[in-house]
Amino acid sequence: MKGHAESAAPFVANEPRAHWHDESLWFVRVKRDRQAATVPEWEDLRSTASAIKAHTLSRLADYLEEFERNATANGIHVHWARDGAEHNAIVLKILNDHGVKRLVKSKSMLTEECHLNPYLEAHGIEVTDTDLGERIVQMRKEPPSHIVLPAIHLKKEDIGELFHIQLGTEKGASDPKYLTEAARGHLRERFLGAQAGLTGVNFAIASTGGVVVCTNEGNADMGTSLPPIHIASMGVEKIVPRPRDLAIFLRLLARSATGQPVTTYTSHFHGPLPGGEMHVVIVDNGRARILGEEAFRRSLSCIRCGACMNTCPVYRRSGGYSYGYTVPGPIGSILGPQRDPAAYGSLPFASSLCGSCTDVCPVKIDLHHELLAFRQELAKKGYLPWQKRFSMWVMGQVLARKWAFLLGGRLMRTLMPLLPRALVYGPWNPWGKQRELPPMPRESFRDLLKKEPR
pLDDT at 432: 82
The residue among 330, 346, 381 that closes a domain is 381
Can you tell me the mean pLDDT for 222-228? Answer: 95
| Residue 272 DSSP class | P
More confident site: 242 or 1: 242
**CA–CA separation, 419 and 321 (whole Å):** 37
Residue 3 lies in a domain: no
- pLDDT digits over 386-436, tens only? 888 888 899 999 999 999 999 999 999 999 889 998 888 888 787 887 788
Question: Residue 187 half-sphere exposure, CB side, CA atoms within 13 Å?
Answer: 27
Are 174 and 280 part of one and the same domain? yes
**CA–CA separation, 437 and 419 (whole Å):** 13
Residue 125 lies in a domain: yes
For residue 134, give the amino acid letter: E
The residue among 381, 409, 440 that closes a domain is 381
Angle formed at CA 284 by CA 134 and CA 101, multiple of 5 degrees: 45
Q: Which domain holds residue 329?
A: 295-381
Are 263 and 351 part of one and the same domain? no
Residue 11 lies in a domain: no
For residue 103, give the amino acid letter: L
- What's the domain count of the chain? 3
Quickly state the pLDDT bin for 375 (edges 50, 70, 90). very high
Are 141 and 245 part of one and the same domain? yes
**CA–CA separation, 84 and 94 (whole Å):** 16
The DSSP-derived string for 93-109 is HHHHHTT--EEEE---H
The residue among 328, 363, 381 that closes a domain is 381
| Pick from 49, 122, 55: nearest CA to 92 | 122
Are 263 and 359 part of one and the same domain? no
Can you tell me the mean pLDDT for 78-84? Answer: 98
The torsion angles phi and psi of 301, rounded to 5 degrees, stand at -75, -10
Residue 367 lies in a domain: yes
- pLDDT digits over 142-153, tens only? 999 999 999 999
More confident site: 75 or 3: 75
- pLDDT digits over 43-70, tens only? 999 999 999 999 999 999 999 999 999 9
pLDDT over 90 at 238, yes or no: yes
In this prediction the pTM is: 0.90
CATH number at residue 333: 1.10.1060.10
Are 231 and 367 part of one and the same domain? no
Are 85 and 234 part of one and the same domain? yes
The DSSP-derived string for 391-440 is HHHHHHHHHT-HHHHHHHHHHHHHHGGGS-HHHHTSTT-GGGGS--PPPP
pLDDT over 80 at 36, yes or no: yes
Residue 148 lies in a domain: yes
Are 206 and 239 part of one and the same domain? yes
